[in-house]
């Protein structure tokens, strides 16, 4: 698959939405937003325009708008964006937030002249394409940032992922929600830190499990020092890192890697 993100997030939105916002991640949204707003405040962003880059169905967009920020969300999946704008309307924050369909690889065409006080890439919305394209996305973030704007990049911490898998290269896990079961098989390549595979999607019925889709998956798993280097080469100055959504110190086995950088 040339462009797995178009297939998985756009074509199979009804199933990939489970990966985009699993119930356990939804449940801790308020904790995540508390960390985001704490970091923004710490670095002097108390108001202004934020970009939610890879906004999904608006989980973080709505919460930041309710907090008082103006927010533009961008996502490649038209269905996710439709749901996000419905959520924005339901929350009554239409004057503060809006989500639009767009590809972060062509972000400048999407946001045109808008420049942001901070760019939030939250819950593994980065790392889908490998080093070269991921770096181009970081450069796009720098381009659409105001001078001294802030970047918050939240991804899985590679070393903790590998530890949790017992350092095996092949990994299989299951995600079950309602009548859907996703069986995910990936293979990690230690030469590139790319984790590639597929999710087989099944629906439960009286006759048992029926396969309804097969989605490609591809994630570049990043270590902190790699994101530090990549961000420095893309117009950012890294300033701090956190290791979980409560704002804990970053350690080699921290579950998350939240990198905070300032526009260089």
Residues near ligand SAM (CB under 6 A): 5, 9, 20-21, 54-56, 59-60, 74-77, 80, 103-105, 122-125, 128
Residue 89 or 167: the one with the smaller Cβ distance to ligand SAM is 89
Smallest gap from residue 154 Cβ to ligand SAM (A): 8
Q: Which H or E run contains 1?
A: none
CB 256 within 8 A of CB 39: no
Smallest gap from residue 30 Cβ to ligand SAM (A): 13
Q: Which H or E run contains 126?
A: none
Residue 75 or 195: the one with the smaller Cβ distance to ligand SAM is 75
Q: How far apart are CA 50 and CA 122, in angstroms?
A: 12
Structure-block tokens of residue 16: 């990939």
Q: In sequence order, what are the residues at sequence separation of 6 or more whose Cβ sits closer than 8 angstroms to the Cβ of residue 134?
A: 126, 127, 128, 220, 230
Smallest gap from residue 144 Cβ to ligand SAM (A): 13
Residue 77 or 231: the one with the smaller Cβ distance to ligand SAM is 77
C-alpha angle 240-242-244 in degrees, rounded to nearest 5? 170
Q: How far apart are CA 48 and CA 117, in angstroms?
A: 6
Smallest gap from residue 77 Cβ to ligand SAM (A): 4
Q: Which residues, in sequence order, are bridge partners of residue 152?
A: 120, 260
Residue 104 or 150: the one with the smaller Cβ distance to ligand SAM is 104
Q: Supply the DSSP symbol for 210.
A: E
Smallest gap from residue 83 Cβ to ligand SAM (A): 10
Residue 78 or 92: the one with the smaller Cβ distance to ligand SAM is 78
**Residue nearest ligand SAM by beta-carbon distance:** 56
């Amino acid at each position: 698959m040339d462009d797995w993100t178009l297939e998985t997030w756009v074509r199979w939105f009804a199933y990939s939405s489970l990966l985009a916002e699993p119930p356990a991640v939804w449940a801790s949204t308020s904790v995540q937003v508390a960390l985001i707003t704490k970091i923004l405040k710490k670095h002097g962003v108390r108001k202004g325009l934020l970009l939610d880059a890879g906004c999904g169905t608006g989980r973080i967009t709505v919460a930041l708008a309710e907090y008082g920020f103006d927010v533009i969300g961008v996502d490649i999946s038209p269905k996710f964006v439709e749901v996000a704008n419905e959520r924005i309307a339901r929350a009554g924050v239409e004057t503060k937030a809006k989500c639009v369909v767009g590809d972060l690889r062509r972000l400048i065409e999407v946001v045109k002249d808008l420049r942001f006080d901070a760019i939030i890439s939250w819950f593994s919305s980065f790392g889908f394409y490998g080093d070269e394209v991921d770096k181009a996305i970081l450069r796009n973030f720098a381009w659409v940032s105001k001078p001294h704007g802030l970047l918050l990049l939240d991804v899985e911490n590679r070393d903790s992922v590998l530890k949790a898998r017992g350092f095996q290269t092949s990994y299989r896990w299951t995600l079950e929600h309602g009548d859907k079961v996703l069986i995910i098989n990936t293979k990690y390549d230690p030469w590139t830190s790319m984790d590639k595979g597929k999710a087989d999607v099944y629906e439960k019925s009286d006759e048992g499990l029926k396969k309804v889709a097969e989605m490609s998956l591809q994630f570049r798993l990043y270590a902190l020092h790699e994101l530090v280097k990549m961000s420095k080469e893309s117009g950012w100055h890294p300033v701090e890192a956190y290791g979980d959504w409560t704002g804990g110190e970053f350690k080699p086995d921290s579950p998350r890697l939240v990198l905070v950088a300032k526009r260089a």
